[in-house]
Amino acid sequence: MPSSVPRTAHSLPRTLRGALLSLLALAAAAQAQAPGDDGFLAAMQAAERGQPVPPAMTGHPAAAWLELAALRRNLDTLPLAQGQAFLTRHAGTPVAEVFRESWLRALAKRQDWAGVRAAWSPSISNVALRCIELDARARTGATDAQWTRDVQAIWRSSGTSLPDTCDAPLQTLSARGGLDDALRWERFDLAVAAQDVAIARGIARGMSAAEQALATDYAAYLQAPHARATSWPKTARSRLVASHGLARLAKDDPLGAEAQLPAVASALGFTEEDNGRVLYQAALWTVASYLPDSARLLARVPASAYDERLHEWRAREAMARSDWPAALSAIRAMGAAQRAQSRWTYFEARLAALTGDPATAERLYRDAATKSDFHGFLAADRLGQPYALCPWDFAPSNEAKTRVATDPGIVRAMALYRIERPIWATREWSAALERFDDEQRRIAVLVAQENGWYDRAVFGLGRQPDETRLYALRFPLTQQALIEREAQRHGLDPAWVAAEIRAESTFNPRARSPADARGLMQVLPSTGAAVARRLGRSWGGAESLYDPETNVALGTAYLREKKDMYGKPYVAIAAYNAGPTPTSRWLSQRPDMDPDFWIETISYRETREYVARVLAFSVLYDWRMYGRAAKLDERLRGAEAQRNTRFACPTGTAAG
């Protein structure tokens, strides 16, 4: 893997160098395994097409998945004995559970209720499958007291829509008198709390005549508040419905909900909690767009209704108006744990400095600068000190690595991942991790990286606080030569490009989003085609975006276009994530705001966190690629990268 090895590896810190050498050793082992992958893939494709699997593949460690692929083709006609035999033969393994889930659905479709009961496992928690089993018990005459309790538990489990498979057992329960008005009201209250109008209406229709009229009026209010509410009984349920109805209205019409609140609150005797529920939503949906009434509505929310989310928005709202004393006050009103987060420690320091308290600002900057994240790096820049980084020199023994790498579940997971069956691979991976201790789990992440499965560090690490310090695992690096070449071609910082790849795909060249963004830099086919046309480059179609060379070439060109369009990298990053329309709106709202405040006041949480994450990742990829970093403050402003900032572990800390 020469493209993944930093050119300056021998000059890097010992901890990083050790991690890299460990990964290279594992990569060599992967090369030894690779020749069997083509045969396994061909066998899987044959099984999926209903063609014979080569006899030689029956000894493959993941051969059971080949059998599963073949069985899934004819589940509607598969003999019961054959399906049951597969479950018995592979009992206790992920492949059996994956088969069982599909098999239960197929048996229900065939109305083979005895088969459903024979295939059932009590360990299943999936509600749709649980309802299939409950229906099977009813249709085979097993509607005993336990069945009634089990169906009632499903009924009580959610105030939103249940899977279609639950319709039959719930209808049977109702016909048997197991859904009285009290139970219907119980779920009605859940539907109100979830603000699900359709479910509330459906529950109301099933109530007795004595209860139905009020329940129907409640549901109507939840959909569109009306004046009849002031004549409702003065009960806790009336208050619940009315407050949630107004809270739901507040999401679309905050001022309208606020205007209707006094009359309903007076008529029904609203508590502080009821008032807070409405005023919270009115404030939240006003401040999220920085509307003129934001500060006034925030001030109306009772203190008891404030949570971390609203505390943050109160600080942002004041920042957006450049009201530094109000923003500082909002941060100091936060709970101790929230205020101690590096984000808010940094901004408290920033605001203390802006309001004339440099001593407090310096103390808080020092606290924030112990963290290896966006705000910690910004704080270090304010102090002119090295960036905090305390890498964990994780070096398991070869014997320990071999034990994990040869664990049957891990072997199957890696084989499935290498032939692009990531969902099945994840099932095997998750089952293996349930058996592993912390050391084995960390080694499993190493093994996954050996096999090119880089996002396992995201999902497999973090259960222990120190695992945030496994930077070589958490920030994989492949295609370095390609990244540097394309970054240089388009005048971009290579660490920024690597950070975008880490944020977008975790270095998975086959990544594909629900929006159809593809490859390392998650380029949309329409964007790829347009950029290729502007570059005068041939366009190989959407599938070409899975090729790293094509993807990085087009992705960096597009990133350069965003930088040219907006001038500053942090704005270009926001546009890369959110698109041009909201980015232009944020620029017009706060055109001259300092970068740190501008980023924090981005309206979309996803984009706000994405920008901070990519910029922090840029610093960490400077460490991975070059051992020193460009100052984040200069990177924000688009200055040419001068990597002269060192990394150091603060005395007595383990920065994360």
Residue 462 has a pLDDT of 87
Q: For the chain, what is the mean pLDDT?
A: 93
Nearest CA to 506 among 439, 445, 596, 437? Answer: 445
Distances (CA, A) of 465 to 234, 494, 654: 50, 29, 9
> Per-residue pLDDT tens for 330-346?
999 999 999 999 999 99
Distances (CA, A) of 67 to 36, 120, 221, 427: 18, 20, 54, 16
> Per-residue pLDDT tens for 45-66?
999 999 999 999 989 999 999 9
Q: How many CA atoms lie within 13 A of 556 on its CB side?
A: 23
Write down the residue that tokens 């970054």 correspond to.
Answer: 487
* Cα 130 from Cα 149, distance rounded (Å): 13
* Cα 308 from Cα 343, distance rounded (Å): 13
Whether 134 contacts 151, CB under 8 Å: yes
* Cα 348 from Cα 430, distance rounded (Å): 41
* Full-model pTM: 0.89
Q: Residue 213 is encoded by which pair of tokens?
A: 């009229």
- In eight-state DSSP terms, residue 159 is S
What structural domains does the chain harbor? 37-169 (no CATH), 224-305 (no CATH), 480-648 (1.10.530.10)
> Per-residue pLDDT tens for 88-97?
999 999 999 9
Q: Predicted confidence band at 35 (pLDDT cuts at 50, 70, 90)?
A: very low
Q: Residue 506 is encoded by which pair of tokens?
A: 């975790």
Whether 388 contacts 356, CB under 8 Å: no
* Cα 128 from Cα 173, distance rounded (Å): 16
Over 70: is that where the pLDDT of 654 sits?
no
551, with CB counted inside 10 A (0-12, 13-18, 19+), is buried
Over 70: is that where the pLDDT of 31 sits?
no
* Cα 57 from Cα 63, distance rounded (Å): 7
157, with CB counted inside 10 A (0-12, 13-18, 19+), is middle
Whether 179 contacts 173, CB under 8 Å: yes
Whether 57 contacts 47, CB under 8 Å: no
> Per-residue pLDDT tens for 400-457?
999 999 999 999 999 999 999 999 999 999 999 999 999 999 999 999 998 999 999 9
> Per-residue pLDDT tens for 342-358?
999 999 999 999 999 99
Over 70: is that where the pLDDT of 488 sits?
yes
Over 60: is that where the pLDDT of 33 sits?
no
Question: Long-range pairs for 121-124 at CB < 8 Å and ≥24 separation?
Answer: 121/97, 124/100
Whether 349 contacts 382, CB under 8 Å: yes
- In eight-state DSSP terms, residue 461 is S
Three-class SS of 139-155: HCCCCCHHHHHHHHHHH
> Per-residue pLDDT tens for 231-284?
999 999 999 999 999 999 999 999 999 999 999 999 999 999 999 999 999 999
The DSSP secondary structure of 278-294, one letter per residue, reads HHHHHHHHHHTTT-TTH
Nearest CA to 596 among 315, 347, 312, 287? Answer: 347
Amino acid letter for position 624: R
